[in-house]
A and B are shown apart, each in its own frame.
Chain A
Amino acid sequence: MLLNLKKMVQTLSIINIQIIYFSPIFKLLCALKLDMESDWGSTKFVVEQFSKWYRNNAKTIPAPTEIKLREFAFLTFEGRTMFRHISFKDEVVLHRYLIDNAPANSYHSSSYYKHPDYDMNEKGWIGADLVFDIDADHFNLPCQTEHDKWLCRNCGKTGVGKPPELCECGKAQFQTETWLCEKCLQAAKNETQKLLDILIQDFGFTTKNDLVVNFSGNRGYHVHVRNKNVRYFDQSSRREIVDYILGTGIKPEYIGFNPKGHGGRSILGDEGWRGRVGKALYDFVDDSSSETIKSLNLSRTLTQNLINKKSEFLIALQNNHPSFILKKFAGRDEERIITDLDTILKIAIKQQSADIDTVVTTDIHRLIRLPNTLHGKTGWQTQTINPENISDYDPFTNAIVFKGEEVKLFVRWAPKIRIGDTTYGEYNEEKVTLPLAVAIFLLCKKGARVIN
């Protein structure tokens, strides 16, 4: 049924757009619009704008370091195939390519190859930058229900937010439509700042020499570590670093929480995970209501102590070693202490770790967005930003590069979005005239089409 309808829409739209528009099945077809990318987005218009931008700005795009050893890859707006295994001998050739092709999306390898233009097996891997991807897509945020939707391709069911693991019909074939808002980009920025703190304080990388931070142009940030020392890391070393950043595998006894411990000082002032866990624990206990603490199902002794002797506990955390705290507040049952610790630490670790994508960092053949090119799903710029000023960085202003005339659009649906100082939308099946920057964003998100 669904398939037939889809076919029908395609044939009909070629014959006469009016027929669909006023026909009784119009409402039904609207539900299927998610499925019909080709109708929305006015590709030709967007390509023209991208071309124009690249003609004027390609020369400002710096090549990645050691350009000769990198593989490049590109996606166009029309096709689904990726043009890859491309190499450039210098910046000039790269710029020419960008001007001639105005790609929808541009990537380069985080890896260095002897022959970046050969097939995968013959490339001759030399090394790879250490890259981190922070993407709000992976987070669970309340705002997602305001701007993300899904459609089950099997039964046609739709919903808001993230699709479930399985649809009610038993399949997991979803088509999704994802937008963004200030909340998700702020969340992504917070994670990026936590990541930078860990990379700088614990690993000793410097913003001056080693770290390159990019706004992805859509829902996240990328951090590249370009440093001779990390370049030759194999997957297992990269995995250890991922585990470190996510706090995966932390055992309480190695960060001081050992009921048999020899004592020592408070961990609150310590560096690394010790201090982080200490601070998170402090804040958690300080901020939690007795209901929250009860809901954790800790041992009776510990629960009572955390509620009735809260300030004593916090003072002890500031002044004493965790082993002392365990002895004083957690009761005698050592096994119970360990499980309670696991419960509490999980919360503390989640709060302090940086939510990076595990696959991206451990993959040593990764293609990653070429900084300062355009992102085909937003029309925004993938921007290199100064890590020192990341807290002031505003993607809704800084990453917007299209300036100019107003464009008339028919918008099928778009959530509220701020561009610069103005907020637009939400729009629902309406004609609007919008500044080019906003128009490009809605078109790239496939939420509108240009009308005359």
Chain B
Amino acid sequence: MLERDAAKYPFLKEAVRLVDALNIQLNDLADPSFSKILDRATERVTEAIIEGVVEAKLEDYMTELLSYPVASMLVSLKGDSFLDRRYALAEAVRIYFLLMKEDSKTLFDIAINEFNWDLQNTKENYDGQTYPFKLFFNNYLHSSSIFHEDKWKLVNRILKNGYVLLQQNEVARLIQGEVEMLIRERVSNRVNFDLPSPIKLKLEEISKIFEENRRKIGAEDLPLEVIREAFPPCMTYCLEGLLSGRRASHMERFALTSFLINVGMPIESIVDLYVSVTDFDEALTRYQIEHIAGLKGNKTRYTPPLCDTLRTHGICRNKDEICERIKHPLNYYRIKAKRVIASQPKENGTNIINN
């Protein structure tokens, strides 16, 4: 493989082999001769934070190639899951733009050799458009799983005999999805070791830029108070249902409970809520809520299901304009809470559920 290709697509198995063969150690990176690589790595991460996409700089392809694993390391060292996702997406978008310029043979090579896809040529025509590719639906479901636009839902695709019809740019986009997941997984592997000072400095630089941009890129935390007005329609539906004593499915109760926990409602209040409106057994209710909160059992704190999941189970109701922009009820809450706070003078800001 050409180094230039490796620089374009550093996640490819062969590119990784190429980098491994150079056997660069952490301390080497502190050496001034590597400063170009360290600089470019830092730049990759800051581009991801600020622009949301990493630019492809292919003139100095060795620097480009070697800066990729270093950038991943920096992100992983920073240890912020929001940054993980942002960086993975930014690298994946860079790759998407490059793939758009490739011929179909290169796409086939990557899809088949790297991701073991069952991708085939075909020639089908629908709505006046030609579909030159078809992909086995398993592979499709995996690679499209992080897209949430309606267009990528399986039900909106042409699925025939196990294969999804695709156009060339769609194949590139699906590879992007696959790459994004790959990088996400890689950077979310937390590492921890003593860093030589040049790397430490770079990490501080990244942290600073990340903090400065936190708000702008939507990585800020949820408000401290529970703001009832900011609940998404689905959660309002669940809550009102509960208050009126309607029979609620397990999914509904799980979604509401995990939502309330995540927006910061105290467990006591949630238990009271359930016990007051139903005749649930208090001890059992508390146990279940604590389980969802991650205080019991396997200690994982549950987040509410994605909008897609809520939609499948018929809980997504009365969608509004914010819903069109989000994929997760907590994100709805985050956006709406900001608006509610902004539109209200501090004095009467007591829309808190406190019973």
Contact = CB atoms under 8 A, between A and B. Distances in A.
Contact of A244 (B159, B162, B279): B159
Nearest to B298: A121
B127 A256 contact: yes
Interface in B126-154: 126-129, 136-138, 141-142, 145, 150-151, 153-154
Contact of A272 (B127, B158, B314): B158
Contact of B150 (A249, A256, A274): A249
B155 interface: yes
Contacts of B126: 256, 264, 270, 274
B128 A272 contact: no
Interface in A257-293: 258, 261-264, 270-274
Given A171-B245, A237-B145, A204 B162 contact: yes
A97 B246 CA distance: 41
B53 to A, nearest CB: 25
B163 interface: yes
A126 interface: no
Interface in B287-334: 297-298, 306, 308-309, 311-314
A10 interface: no
A203 B155 contact: no
B346 interface: no
A229 B142 CA distance: 12
Contacts of B123: none
A interface bracket (residues with beta carbon within 8 Å of B): 35 or more
A171 B159 CA distance: 45
A249 B159 contact: no
Contacts of B250: 359
A203 B246 contact: no
Nearest to A236: B145
Interface in B221-238: none
B311 A248 contact: yes
A249 B155 contact: yes
Contacts of A247: 155
Interface in A184-242: 201-205, 229-230, 233-237, 239-242
- Of A244, A250, A261, most buried by chain B (CB within 10 Å of CB) is A244
B340 interface: no
B29 to A, nearest CB: 37
Contacts of A272: 158-160
Contacts of B159: 202-203, 244, 272
Nearest to B145: A236
A235 B141 CA distance: 11
Contact of B156 (A235, A239, A250, A264): A250
A254 B151 contact: yes
A250 B155 contact: yes
A205 B161 CA distance: 8
A236 B246 CA distance: 28
6 contacts: A229-B136, A233-B141, A236-B308, A241-B141, A249-B311, A261-B127
Interface of A: 121, 165-166, 170-173, 201-205, 229-230, 233-237, 239-244, 246-251, 254-256, 258, 261-264, 270-274, 321, 323, 358-359, 362
Given A121-B298, A244-B155, 9 more contacts: A166-B246, A170-B245, A171-B245, A236-B309, A248-B155, A254-B151, A261-B128, A359-B251, A359-B313
